[in-house]
A and B are shown apart, each in its own frame.
Chain A
Amino acid sequence: AQSVTQLDSQVPVFEEAPVELRCNYSSSVSVYLFWYVQYPNQGLQLLLKYLSGSTLVKGINGFEAEFNKSQTSFHLRKPSVHISDTAEYFCAVSDTGSGGSNYKLTFGKGTLLTVNP
């Protein structure tokens, strides 16, 4: 079984400031890692994912995340945020097993990012 902890439920920042949204996971098996964004009254949209290879992953809208296996973390960062980045962000994991369960996403509880002018 896996679990995902998003350490901050809310993160307020000013426009053009950098931001880091933290995500830690726990799993007894290897995992794939994802960040999703949910804008108000919309479904979730994939921002980026880590499957293998380089531990620094770049996604849409200028976001990036770094996989740190030793710290079991996958923090999301953006060097300069915009008002339009205001949304809820979800970290998720799935296992890498070939047993057929790697479709199942386990989500954290989300971090509400509010960008203020």
Chain B
Amino acid sequence: GAGVSQSPSNKVTEKGKDVELRCDPISGHTALYWYRQSLGQGLEFLIYFQGNSAPDKSGLPSDRFSAERTGGSVSTLTIQRTQQEDSAVYLCASSRLGTYYNEQFFGPGTRLTVL
């Protein structure tokens, strides 16, 4: 079956512009996660959705970052007024439920480059 998909695969933007990154989770997965993978910091948790609500936004680095999920499915991560330090690979994952024993399946990521 289809895995987690993300779009775009690559995004180049200018400093100060807004960007939207999209994640399509595996059908039927109620839990969705965003992570950021950068050279200096490794893989960092950003936000967790259970259904359409986000009980844990603790990893969002600043108020320029926001995310939403609609219909218990697609999620969009928005970064406003992008900065060069936002350059990274943004990974989305989904799982059947939001518990440890439910394997998180990862998408291929969106590589964001801020010039």
Binding site for B on A (CB under 8 A): 32, 36, 41-46, 49, 51, 90, 92, 94, 96, 100-110
Contact A105-B108, Cβ < 8 Å, known A44-B91, A100-B55: no
Which of A44, A49, A106 is packed against the most chain B CB atoms within 10 Å? A44
Contact A42-B108, Cβ < 8 Å, known A103-B48, A103-B95, A105-B45: yes
On chain A, the residues within 8 Å of B95 by CB distance are 103
**Would you give the 0/1 interface string for B24-36, flagging 1 where the beta carbon is closer than 8 Å to chain A?**
0000000101010
Question: Are A107 and B42 in contact, CB atoms less than 8 angstroms apart?
Answer: yes
Question: Are A101 and B56 in contact, CB atoms less than 8 angstroms apart?
Answer: yes
**Would you give the 0/1 interface string for B69-87, flagging 1 where the beta carbon is closer than 8 Å to chain A?**
0000000000000000000
A-B interface pairs (CB < 8 A), number:
56
Query: How many chain B residues touch the partner (CB < 8 A)?
Result: 27
Question: Are A105 and B104 in contact, CB atoms less than 8 angstroms apart?
Answer: yes
Question: Are B42 and A103 in contact, CB atoms less than 8 angstroms apart?
Answer: no
Question: Are B56 and A104 in contact, CB atoms less than 8 angstroms apart?
Answer: yes
